[in-house]
Amino acid sequence: MGNIPKTRLGILGSGKGSNMAAIAEACRSGQFPMEIALVLSDIEDSGILARARERGLPARFIAPGRFRTKLDEEAERQYVQTLQTARVDLVVLAGFMRILKGEFLRAFPQRVVNIHPSLLPSFPGLESWRQALDYGVKVTGCTVHLADPGIDTGPILAQQTVPVLDDDTPATLHERIQQAERVLYPATLAALAQGNIRIEGRRTFRIAPPQG
């Protein structure tokens, strides 16, 4: 790993925290120059906060304010300030179910990453595994992308396919996608932390790590 300084991750989530746990394992392995600086949630009793605390990670609930699908201005200010105080380099959305708008994204330009449970641009929005099943596709997957002001529209960093099986229910398909997420997300964050991804507009490229 040499002398590369560790990228400090600030993870935001609203759910059970399985992606956060996988990222925490990757950090703990010591193989990658990254560490979790802070975990934040808009849900006070969320699994992600409980799992972060079990691991001894700094974890905080910050109330989202008066809206249902986004943070209000005061909440947004608090999220940004808390992440900046923790000297976070990369904001990692791991099942954070609120849209982040301009002010937040401007505070971390090109430094907000999201995981989405479909092969974007197919099935943006909510319950993408159910959308995939209802549509009848035979292959779906997950996507890691940079967040931009649109809904699941930012430049794609990595994707992994997942088959849809004839006897899938929404729950079994979601679980298979989540298994893929738990591999793809830590690996993509590690590539970012190692400086192995170059971003040019909408296109992104892997840079081969130096040999030896």
* DSSP secondary structure, 99-118, as one string: B--HHHHHHSTT-EEEEESS
Closer by beta carbon to ligand GAR, 45 or else 200: 45
116 is catalytic: yes
Closer by beta carbon to ligand GAR, 111 or else 174: 174
- Using CB atoms within 10 A of its CB, is residue 22 exposed (0-12), middle (13-18) or buried (19+)? buried
Q: Where are the strands (E) in the chain, listed by range? A: 7-13, 34-41, 59-61, 90-93, 112-116, 139-146, 156-163, 197-200, 203-206
CB of 16 to ligand GAR, least distance (A): 4
Residues that bind ligand GAR (CB under 6 A): 13, 15-19, 48, 94-95, 115-117, 178, 181
Which residue of the set 51, 98, 111, 116 is catalytic?
116
CB of 208 to ligand GAR, least distance (A): 28
CB of 47 to ligand GAR, least distance (A): 7
- Residue number of the CB atom closest to ligand GAR: 95
CB of 125 to ligand GAR, least distance (A): 7
Closer by beta carbon to ligand GAR, 4 or else 187: 187
Total Cβ atoms within 10 A of residue 103: 13
Residues noted as catalytic:
116
